[in-house]
Amino acid sequence: MAYDKFTILRSSAVPMPIENVDTDQIIPARFLKATERKGFGDNLFRDWRYETDGTPKKDFVLNNPIYSGKILVGGKNFGSGSSREHAAWAIYDYGFRCVVSSFFADIFKNNSLNVGILPVQVSPEFLDKIFTAIEADPKAELEVNLEAQTITIPATGESESFAINSYKKLNMMNGYDDIDYLQAMKDDIKLFADKSLY
């Protein structure tokens, strides 16, 4: 599925300084029953966000109107656990385009890149600076520049670079995905398969 091109994103951010946020929290299993990719944003962080009767939990950050924006900032080991891509869909569908953390689980990182969310891994120190900046001003913006591979806190001018391989970077900047690439090399794959033991 194609997604929006990602170049420069400047936005306020939603802080979630919790470690080991697993994909069962991002979207609980009972909301994985759809056969189409739509509406997952409504159940993003469902059990942290709502009481069992559906009323919003006041102390959860997504229910706090002070915070908004297209960037979600999480604690270390974000996206651990289940491989459900629904977690990335829910984050995208809610309106986030970038997740910042000091450490991402592997499958979540892959899934994010495949659906058009940029995972930006920063140092633990820079993550603290981001949380501090948002604490000082909930509307504080972050600027993520994919081409330059930098994330900046404009209010303080502090900046850090982040890693992404050049193949994925180009995909994100152009809104391409891996399926386009693989379809273009099917003849090679066919030859490879012919020699395969299994």
Partner 1 sequence: MSNKPATLFDKVWDSHVVRKIEDGPDVFFIDRHFIHEVTSPVAFLGMEGRGLKVMFPEKTFATADHNTPTINQHLPVQDPLSANQLKALETNSNKYGISHWGLGNPKNGIVHVVGPENGITLPGMTIVCGDSHTSTHGAFGAIAFGIGTSEVEMVLSSQCIMQPKPKKMRINVTGKLGKGITPKDVTLYIISRLTAAGATGYFVEYAGEVFENMSMEGRMTVCNMSIEMGARGGIIAPDETTFNYIKGREKAPKGEAWDKALAYWKTLATDEGAVFDAEFTYDAADIEPMITYGTNPGMGMGITKHIPSALAGDSKSSYEKSLQYMGFHEEEAMLGKKVDYVFIGSCTNGRIEDFRAFASIVKGRKKADHVTAWIVPGSHIVEQQIKDEGILDILTEAGFQLRQPGCSACLAMNDDKVPAGKYAVSTSNRNFEGRQGPGSRTMLASPLVAAAAAVTGVVTDPRELIA
Q: Interface with partner 1 includes 136 (CB under 8 A)? A: no
Contact mark string toward partner 1, 89..108, x via CB under 8 A: --------------xxxxx-
Distance, CA of 72 to CA of 27 (rounded, Å): 15
Q: Interface with partner 1 includes 149 (CB under 8 A)? A: no
Task: Tell me the helices (H) and strands (E) count for the chain, helix number first.
Answer: 8, 7
**HSE on the CB side for 170, CA within 13 Å?**
6
Contact mark string toward partner 1, 39..58, x via CB under 8 A: --------x----x------
What is the DSSP pairing of strand 71-74 with strand 150-153?
Answer: unpaired
Residue 14: both structure tokens together = 């939603």
Distance, CA of 160 to CA of 106 (rounded, Å): 21
72 sits in which H/E element: strand 71-74
Give whichever of 65 and 198 is closer to partner 1, judged by the CB atom.
198
Q: Interface with partner 1 includes 80 (CB under 8 A)? A: yes
Q: Rounded to the nearest whole angstrom, what is the least distance from the CB of residue 142 to partner 1 in the complex?
A: 22
Binding site for partner 1 (CB under 8 A): 1, 17-20, 22, 24-25, 28-30, 32-37, 47, 52, 75-77, 80-86, 88, 103-107, 110-111, 114-115, 165-168, 177-179, 181-183, 185-186, 188-189, 192-193, 196-198
